[in-house]
A and B are shown apart, each in its own frame.
Chain A
């Protein structure tokens, strides 16, 4: 079974631009979460989508937004990029089974803002 895929893997943008990152979850997983990872703050939750609805949002400014499509694929958008937005952006897909709950991460998109 294919894992979580994220595109692009690397991105360099200029301050003030906007960026869209894409995530395809594991087949059959309907929940997709996004996290930002930086050396200083570690892994921080951005938002989570299930069946095209945002169920949870972390403490990030409104410049960070996302959406989920009917095939469970998800995108996140960051507008008006700032230098501090440079980070590894991770997508994770989740599944609840009779055995419990598991969340699997993709390889991430490394965003550099100059």
Chain B
């Protein structure tokens, strides 16, 4: 069964303090690994799709990387507006569904 585990569950940083969020996964055959940002009361906002080990993608202060067993979301010099829950999900080949982790709740203090 496909499974995604995210750590830590919650992370509190000072503005400008860089860190990384972890997403460990097991999947029968990885079609794609997805990162989303979700603000309270809203739907998840698409950030990245990664497809193969070694791939990296960047967007503003965020960089996502992928290995065969895990993905990291690196956040550089974060700002308070980066506070949100970050969700990781995997999609297996032949499946339409995304399997989500429980998310990491990130808080950036000014």
- A interface with B by C-beta (< 8 Å): 4, 31, 33, 42-45, 48, 50, 55-56, 58, 90, 94, 100-108, 110
Contacts and interface: CB of A to CB of B under 8 A. Distances in A.
A110 B87 CA distance: 19
Interface string B94-107: 01111111110000
Interface of B: 31-32, 34, 36, 41-46, 49, 51, 87, 89, 91, 95-103
Given A43-B100, A45-B98, A48-B97, A102 B46 contact: yes
Q: A-side binding surface: helix, strand, loop or mixed?
A: strand
B43 A48 contact: no
Nearest to A99: B49
A99 B87 CA distance: 22
A103 B46 contact: yes
A105 B36 contact: yes
A103 B51 contact: no
Given A100-B49, A101-B91, A103-B34, A33 B96 contact: yes
A105 B45 contact: yes
Nearest to B48: A102
A55 to B, nearest CB: 6
